[in-house]
Chains A and B, each alone.
Chain A
Amino acid sequence: MTPSDRDKHDQFIRLYVENEESLRGFVRSLVPTLEDAREVMQETAAVLWRKFDELHSLEDFRRWAFGVARFEALAFRRDRARDRHVFSEDLIAMLESEAEEAGEQSNREEEALKNCLRKLPGKQRALVESAYDKGVRIDQMAEEIGRTPMSLYKALHRIRMSLADCIEQFLQKEEQPG
């Protein structure tokens, strides 16, 4: 690898890492499951690196990356997830634009999420940790803990909503004078 390759590589790393969280959220909004989102993110990262030379201006990286992510997510759904409703181009364009705008917010939310997780009651935290462990299926997990899948989905939804409220409060508090 030549020094210029390395410089290019480092530059790419910095840009990608800066935008990774917001890209991941956007991709998640377009595909059915977390596992799907992981796969699309892998493909997106690979495509971005392969085509990095084609990017005219580094300032356009975010917009370009969101465009690539949208394309990869739609390709994934076309090839692998035909059984679900796919959002129209109009809605996807709106989501892309709004997710791109929320980029800075995504990075701040990450810190807030960790803080809010620590505040969850023990049982809720254990539940969310188990549910988000790699490879876990909700129906299997429900069976193991003696609940119905529906009640587990609902419990996780309540936890996510509680985390969302906590994150919002955390970010607002960060901005407020004491």
Chain B
Amino acid sequence: MKSKDVHMELVDRYLSGQATSEEGEQLEQLMLENPQLRSDFLAYARIDAALPGAVGGDAELIEFNPNPVGISKKGNWLVWGPIAAAAVLLIGLFLGSGLLQNGSSDSSQVVARFGGLSDCRWVDAAKQIESGQRIKVGERLELSSGIAEVIFDTGARLELTGPTIIEIRSSNGGFLTMGEVHLVAETPESKGFTLETPISKFIDIGTAFTATVSPDGLSRLDVTEGEVDVIVDENVGPRRITAGQTMYVEPGERKIVTRLEAGDETPAFIFPTISPPSNSDYADVANGKASIRAIHRELEGSSLGGGPVSVLIDGEGQSKQDSPRQSAFFSSHWKGNYFLMDLGKPISISRINSYSWHQHNDIEEHRERARQRFTLYGFAGDEPPAVGNHGKTGWTRIARVNSDKLFHVNERLDRPAQQGCEISATSGDLGRFRYLLWHVKGSTFFGEFDVHGAP
């Protein structure tokens, strides 16, 4: 922390209840004048608040009684850790309606059983789950932490990783509200296993996949074997995803899909399904309609060999694996770096692609600058809003991209050296925008941005 030690000691005394009234006033005066101290005060409070959950796990034990006797402020909620609110409200609501576990009218049909259970904690503390216990259609499984296996009578095996909430919807399917499940469907009877999420439907074609729904509704599908049909929009046919591919589906009215793929690590930038860099997209320099610039912080300077930002719209990626001059990248590695593209006027955008390539010439594992990690925003007006605080300034968030998560990068060598990202909508366009803003994290060697669309 950057604040003075003596100030942080005052912060500690205040938060641990030792500060006198005078010390409280002194701290207030210091914080009113010093943004750094406010920032450090908040960070210190966050650490203090997170420690009970981090060291033990049950410090957030809360129980909700929907009809408390009297106005006791204590002990009405009972839940653990990161899924606290979910459990709180589930218990509160479902106890009241008598529907804690059976939400379907077809609740008598037993279709699955619990398999292996590892360190499982359930939202309902009173719930006793044992391996072999049968599961009916309509049961809602609310796992706070640990790993639980669910084996369907069809042979489909689901592994839930807490915190996860899933409802068993049929003899061969479920609805994932939140969390992560891994499916293995190897038997003929399990073919067609359907996993729904709040914004999509994954239909197994005899395979294995992992589906994740984050708290804000972003769905992710990783296919590890075979194929999966994905239905994001009922009015549009399924999209088939095969082994090794992954896609994200953003929540919201427009069904926006993000795909990332590893390239062939040649100047041709060949990907399984994503097209190579284009010189005929709307934003290409040859078209003469778009411009792009870096804002907030400077690009890596020419003294270090970095290329100009215009390389992003020159119609091609890098010609070799470690080519700073053909790459646009930021000198700062911290957040707060942006590429702002002006398309000249609002256009209907159908697809946005980005390409990166970096493999150190001598060190095989050094390919850090290939990672694509950014949030993309759009704006249709004449003057772009300020950057930062995007939720309040008028920018529309289009998609979030983090290729390390998608490629499950745990070791440096897991990271593909050449990456392509494609953002599109399942039907129609991504939206009508004049400005596009990439909020970039890290110092990726971007080689090309392609924007496909028409006025």
Please list the residues of chain A having a beta carbon within 8 angstroms of any beta carbon in chain B: 1, 5-6, 9-10, 12-18, 20-22, 24-29, 32-34, 37-39, 42-43, 45-46, 49, 59, 62, 84-85, 87-88, 90-91, 94-95, 98-99, 101-102, 106, 109-110, 113-114, 117, 128-129, 132-134, 138, 153, 156-157, 160-161, 163-165, 167-168, 172, 175-178
Contacts and interface: CB of A to CB of B under 8 A. Distances in A.
Given A113-B54, A138-B16, 8 more contacts: A13-B89, A25-B45, A28-B46, A34-B48, A106-B46, A109-B47, A117-B54, A128-B51
A172 B333 contact: yes
Contacts, number: 219
Contacts of B61: 134
Given A1-B99, A29-B45, A134 B52 contact: yes
Contacts of A1: 93-94, 97, 99, 103
Contacts of B41: 29, 95
A127 B13 CA distance: 18
Nearest to B25: A85
B38 to A, nearest CB: 6
Nearest to B371: A177
Contacts of B51: 113, 128, 132, 160
Q: Is the interface of B mostly helix, strand, loop or mixed?
A: helix
A146 B366 CA distance: 51
Contacts of A15: 215-216
B186 to A, nearest CB: 30
A46 B49 CA distance: 19
| Ranked 8 nearest A-B pairs via Cβ | A85-B24, A25-B46, A28-B49, A29-B45, A16-B85, A18-B215, A177-B368, A17-B215
Contacts of B412: 178
Nearest to A104: B335
Nearest to B441: A175
Residue among A46, A133, A167 having the largest count of chain B Cβ atoms under 10 Å: A46
Given A14-B217, A17-B83, A98 B89 contact: no
B77 A160 contact: no
A85 B19 contact: yes
Q: Is the interface of A mostly helix, strand, loop or mixed?
A: helix
Interface of B: 1, 8-9, 12-19, 21, 23-25, 27-28, 31-32, 35, 38-52, 54-56, 58-62, 64, 73-74, 76-77, 82-86, 88-90, 92-94, 97, 99, 103, 163, 165, 177-178, 198, 214-217, 333-335, 365-366, 368-369, 389, 391, 412, 441-443
Contacts of A29: 15, 41-42, 45
Contacts of A37: 49
Nearest to B40: A164
14 contacts: A14-B177, A14-B214, A15-B215, A24-B50, A28-B46, A29-B42, A34-B49, A42-B62, A42-B88, A94-B32, A102-B46, A117-B54, A167-B47, A177-B443
Nearest to B41: A29
A175 B52 CA distance: 27
A91 B28 CA distance: 7
Contacts of B56: 129, 132-134
Contacts of A18: 214-216
A9 B163 CA distance: 17
